[in-house]
Amino acid sequence: MLEKYYFNQSDQTDLNVYRCGIEECKPGYAWGPGVRDHFIVHYILSGTGIFSDGKTKKKLSEGDGFVVFPNCLVTYAADPENPWTYSWVGFQGLKAESFLNKAGVYRESPFFTYKTDNKLRDCLGNMISEARLNTSSELMLLGHLYIFLSLLIKNNRKDSPYETRYFSQEKYVKRVIEFISKNYSGKISIGEIASIIGLDRSYLYSIFKKVMKMSPQEFLISFRIERAVDLMRNSDLTIGDIARSVGYEDPLLFSKMFKKIKGISPNLFRQNLNSYSSPKSIST
């Protein structure tokens, strides 16, 4: 079963609903590797599946969710034995990513869990019911989206004494990711981050490695290099400008780190940026 709807909404600037739907996936059904040009939140109603963005691969089940961020290469697939059914909503806007960040969802950790009640499920259901109408209201759809995001944000802020140890660890990791995403352009150290988050540096290293499959330092370097790649599309910026903009005062150190991550120098990468940016063919 597949039910999906697309909308041609006027520009609301802050948020725009692009589409919504529900799908009962066939065993092993997969999408990707591919990229989207807008945000899509998937909420799993039943079954299980796998989400991967090339760096993180995670098995998800009922009550879990994942977000496809714009221009991020992802793959997701239903379990061959117990395929998932999920609802989704796609949207864009100036405040879209900041709302998701407030909900504890980031490009580097695009997951969430909502098992408090059925409000999130019902909100998506109401959006789909509205979309079925030939006279569906643009403001009504947008209202459902705001409610949906507010539920996610409230869920993230809820401090439960019954949280599992692993869930608490994920919370700390998300705080580290949030700190890096806001301060990567400055001179920051992992020790400083650990102190601000309120953790021992060695403990931070162990839980970050467990959740993200890389060390905090490796993540910081990777984050800076990916932001540098984004800046390379601006032809007015020199490599030195880009290096300083992502936290490297020494262009030689930046070049060394860039080559370590990407395999070639920043200059050569920039020359071949178009070929590097071309998405692979995908099956749907």
Q: How is the chain split into domains, by residue range?
A: 2-157, 160-278
Neighbours of 135 (CB within 10 A): 5
What values do phi and psi take at 51, rounded to 5?
-120, 140
Q: Model's pTM, two decimal places? A: 0.60
In the prediction, which pLDDT does 8 show?
A: 61
In the prediction, which pLDDT does 160 show?
A: 42
In the prediction, which pLDDT does 107 show?
A: 87
Average pLDDT by stretches of 10, the chain with 284 residues: 62 79 94 92 97 90 96 94 96 90 89 94 92 80 93 77 56 88 90 88 91 92 92 89 93 94 92 58 36
CATH 3.40.50.10190 for domain 2-157, yes or no, is no
For helices 190-197 and 165-183, give the axis angle rounded to 10 degrees: 130
Mark 97-121 as b/e (b = at least 16 C-beta within 10 Å): bebbbbbbbbbbbbbbbbeeeeebb
Rounded CA gap, 146 and 89, in Å?
A: 11
Q: In 3D, which of 213, 214, 173, 210 has the Cα closest to residue 194?
A: 173
Helix (H, G, I), strand (E, B) or coil at 220: helix
Which pLDDT tens digit goes with each residue over 160-197? 443 444 457 888 888 899 899 989 999 899 999 998 88
Tell me the fold of 160-278: Arc Repressor Mutant, subunit A (1.10.10)
